[in-house]
Amino acid sequence: MQAKEEDVSLGANKFPERQPIGTAAQSDEKDYKEPPPAPLFEPGELKSWSFYRAGIAEFMATFLFLYITILTVMGVVSSKTKCTTVGIQGLLGRGHINPAVTFGLFLARKLSLTRALFYMLMQCLGAICGAGVVKGFKKSIYMANNGGTNSVSPGYTKGDGLGAEIVGTFILVYTVFSATDAKRNARDSHVPILAPLPIGFAVFLVHLATIPITGTGINPARSLGAAVIYNKSHAWDDQASKLAYFSREALKKRDNLLPTQVPRTTRGKPEFRVGEMWPFSSKGPSGFSWYSTAEEVTQGLDGSGLTAIITGASSGIGAETARVLALRGVHVVMAIRNVASGNSVKEEILRETPSANIDVMEVDLSSMESIRKFASEYDSRKLPLNLLINNAGVMATPFMLSKDGIELQFATNHVGHFLLTHLLLENMKTTSRESQIEGRIVNVSSMGHRLAYREGIRFDKINDQSGYMSMAAYGQSKLVNILHANELSRILKEEGVDITANSLHPGSVISNLLRYHSFVDAIARTLGKPFLKNAQQGAATTCYVALHPQVKGVSGRYFDNSNLADPSSKAKDGELAKKLWDFSMGLIS
């Protein structure tokens, strides 16, 4: 018995119990090991092969990063992921690929000045060479697409662009620091977290928010490389300011401080508010901005005597468009698939505006039979039609066919609206002629039209399941929304009809479009909320194009943030628009 007790005692001493998680604060010991600060200068590094190997890795990774991203922006390749590039050089150079990240790490004393400068030099050289190779191989396409440079979109100032880039790069750098922090690793050691996951989500959200403004830089090397090779004065690049800003933010992070105030401009007056992201509020030529709401862009306008059909008006920006147009006196016909939901929205609008004139009619835009039935019923009611707002849509659905055997996104987002417009056009012509009031057709497209397949429209492969990519198919459907409006505008001008046709990007809006991707939808509704428009802001451009007198006589144009904007080169291709028109007429015949 005594021998057994000695064995137990020996075992307990030989294998002492590990300190429970979280108890380090109760003792003088730390439950993490933080590496010592890197020296400012470390001349010995210059004699080390690993130093140069890491620099070469940074050069190659940034070279491939620019090569792939610029080709992707130009539509030459469809890169599924950049993780391979970063992963390969991450084994050698710790995966910086971004001078802003390297500079922040230097200021936090995690890199020596020698290594930081060498990394940043190699990153910039790699970016310039990557852009140069693209220009060498694809010069005509390269120049036609502005070399993949970052430029401020119409309706924004350079200050807006700088603000967006500053906050976007801050989010990226701060996430990198947080995901790799020694304290966090120790505290959450029982939770298996891979650093690339939060960093990837940060990059995704920043792109979602800043692509409409600057095309998303958040990487000085990426912006510099494209701008140097493209060599045009409008190639926007203000990276020095970003680095200066992150000097301060890296030091804040080192002292465990959080940013509390970021400048914003509201109603023309600069102010600071906790939690606000960046100055999106600078107004464009129209007098409106990213922040403008549907009520603001229609303030003081009288829509009495006008009748509008709005598809997809039972939720999101469609419901808000219906509410605001009804508020301005327009007779609104909600063309929706779910009548119960439509009636619910109608009741809410009537509670707010008892005098509102609203009808709910059923239509399924994925069914030509349902669309023909809707148009016939509408004509039988002898209602005029001044405004047709083609708003309904689906996004990034799994591959499936409509009731008419057409890929669902192409069928719902384009063919359904094309047929509806075709069937109601005579009514609109009659209404315009008799009322002497300009008719307006509004196609709600998306910035996502830039994500279309390389060839733009796969006329011969619309139903090809083997090559189907949900986001590319969505981009295709949004591209054809623009082309449809452009070609319709051309035809109406030739006929001398007083009806305009325009398209627009409503903005990145919190809506139910991502219902087929519940995980991404959850991320967008939580982490993405500060970066996305609400329904009131998302409906602003639609209401502006549909009702505002500034748009009178403007046709065949593309709008964003209630201002004229420039879509992709494919969206301005007149021959492609004519081909689409003939193709679509064949589908509905």
Interval 358-412: pLDDT, tens: 999 999 999 999 999 999 999 999 999 999 999 999 988 899 999 999 999 999 9
Tokens of 238: 């203000």
Tokens of 84: 């391979």
- In this prediction, residue 81 carries a pLDDT of 41
- Top pLDDT among 247 and 538 is at 538
Do residues 550 and 286 make contact, with C-beta atoms less than 8 angstroms apart? yes
Active site residues: 468
CATH 3.30.2130.30 fits 43-274, yes or no: no
Radius of gyration of the chain (CA): 28
| Residue range 476-517, pLDDT digits in tens | 999 999 999 999 999 999 999 999 999 999 987 765 555 544
Distance CA 268, CA 456 (A): 40
Nearest 5°: the CA angle 9, 12, 13 is 90
Name the pLDDT band for 252 (thresholds 50, 70, 90).
Answer: very low
- In this prediction, residue 564 carries a pLDDT of 96
Residue (of 134, 125, 150) closest to 72 by Cα position: 134
- Mean pLDDT is lowest, of 268-282, 511-525, 537-551, for 268-282
Domain boundaries, the chain: 43-274, 294-588
Distance CA 434, CA 355 (A): 26
Do residues 220 and 98 make contact, with C-beta atoms less than 8 angstroms apart? yes
Largest CA distance in the chain: 110
Nearest 5°: the CA angle 128, 134, 137 is 135
- Mean pLDDT is lowest, of 176-190, 343-357, 420-434, 436-450, for 176-190
pLDDT at 266 over 50: no
pLDDT at 338 over 80: yes
Tokens 């509905």 identify what position?
Answer: 588
Distance CA 234, CA 529 (A): 31
CATH topology of domain 294-588: Rossmann fold (3.40.50)
Do residues 387 and 500 make contact, with C-beta atoms less than 8 angstroms apart? no
Cα 193–chain centre separation: 26
Within 8 A by CB and 6+ apart from 448, the residues are 395, 471, 474, 475, 478
- In this prediction, residue 181 carries a pLDDT of 66
Distance CA 17, CA 19 (A): 6
Tokens 């016939």 identify what position?
Answer: 376
| Residue range 73-96, pLDDT digits in tens | 665 444 444 444 444 334 334 557
SS3 271: strand
Q: For residue 500, what is the DSSP state?
A: E
Distance CA 473, CA 481 (A): 13
pLDDT at 261 over 60: no
Name the pLDDT band for 562 (thresholds 50, 70, 90).
Answer: very high
Tokens 């039609």 identify what position?
Answer: 385
- Mean pLDDT is lowest, of 151-155, 565-569, 570-574, 578-582, for 151-155
> What percent of the chain clears pLDDT 90, i.e. is strictly above it?
44
Distance CA 69, CA 60 (A): 14
pLDDT at 26 over 50: no
- Mean pLDDT is lowest, of 131-145, 177-191, 232-246, 374-388, for 232-246
Query: Which residue type occupies 563?
Result: N
Same topology for domains 43-274 and 294-588, yes or no?
no
- In this prediction, residue 328 carries a pLDDT of 98
Name the pLDDT band for 34 (thresholds 50, 70, 90).
Answer: low
- In this prediction, residue 259 carries a pLDDT of 34
Do residues 142 and 134 make contact, with C-beta atoms less than 8 angstroms apart? yes
Q: Is the dihedral of CA 526, 529, 531, 533 positive or negative?
A: positive
Tokens of 287: 């007098």
- In this prediction, residue 464 carries a pLDDT of 95
- C-alpha atoms less than 13 angstroms from C-alpha of 486 in its C-beta half-sphere: 23
Name the pLDDT band for 17 (thresholds 50, 70, 90).
Answer: very low
Distance CA 147, CA 302 (A): 45
Helical (H) or strand (E) element with 504:
strand 499-505
Distance CA 206, CA 277 (A): 11
Distance CA 388, CA 422 (A): 11
Name the pLDDT band for 208 (thresholds 50, 70, 90).
Answer: confident
Name the pLDDT band for 21 (thresholds 50, 70, 90).
Answer: very low
- pTM of the predicted protein model: 0.59
pLDDT at 103 over 70: yes
Q: Pairing state of beta strands 563-565 and 558-560?
A: antiparallel
- In this prediction, residue 57 carries a pLDDT of 82
Distance CA 164, CA 160 (A): 6
- Look over the chain and give the mean of its residue pLDDT values, rounded to a whole number: 78
Residue (of 451, 454, 476) closest to 463 by Cα position: 476
Mean pLDDT value of segment 115-130: 84
Query: Which residue type occupies 192?
Result: P
